[in-house]
């Protein structure tokens, strides 16, 4: 791994983030990005139910999709992360969000 890439990966690990392995079906995230708000509910089998942002604008919400991971907006992607402040989410349809500014986590155990 080249030094620049290693630096990016190391920096990503220090950002406030939610890893895929941290989530269980029924957990929810609210992501505030530079331009939109997304609600992501963890579904079964590694998929997510997503509404808000671009999906609302295209009248597709809610949509069941995968999350490929997080990126800086280019081709380097951290596939183990669902969301990290300062990065962009890449959904299964290759849609990239604007930069994530805030992540709010709602574990299913906290719901009525």
Say if 4 falls within a structural domain: no
Q: Give me the number of domains the chain comprises.
A: 1
Banded model confidence at residue 46, pLDDT cuts 50, 70, 90: confident
Q: Is the Cα torsion angle 53, 99, 83, 109 positive or negative in sign?
A: negative
pLDDT in tens, 87-96: 999 999 999 9
- In angstroms, rounded to a whole number, what is the distance separating the alpha carbons of residues 13 and 112? 32
Range of the domain at 106: 21-110
pLDDT tens, residue by residue, 49-62: 999 999 999 999 99
Whether 81 is in a domain gets the answer yes
The answer as to whether 70 is a domain residue is: yes
Region of residue 69 (phi > 0: left; psi between -120 and 50: alpha; otherwise: beta): left
DSSP 55: H
Q: pTM of the prediction?
A: 0.86
């Amino acid at each position: 791994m080249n030094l620049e890439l290693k630096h990016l990966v190391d920096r990503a690990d220090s950002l406030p983030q939610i890893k895929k392995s941290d989530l269980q079906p029924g957990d929810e995230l609210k992501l505030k990005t530079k331009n939109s708000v997304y609600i992501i509910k963890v579904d079964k089998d590694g998929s997510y139910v997503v509404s808000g942002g671009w999906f609302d604008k295209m009248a597709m919400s809610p949509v069941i999709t995968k999350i490929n991971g997080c990126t800086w907006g280019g081709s380097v992607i951290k596939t183990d992360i669902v969301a990290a402040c300062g990065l962009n989410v890449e959904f299964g349809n290759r849609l990239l969000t604007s930069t994530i500014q805030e992540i709010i986590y709602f574990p299913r155990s906290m719901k009525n």
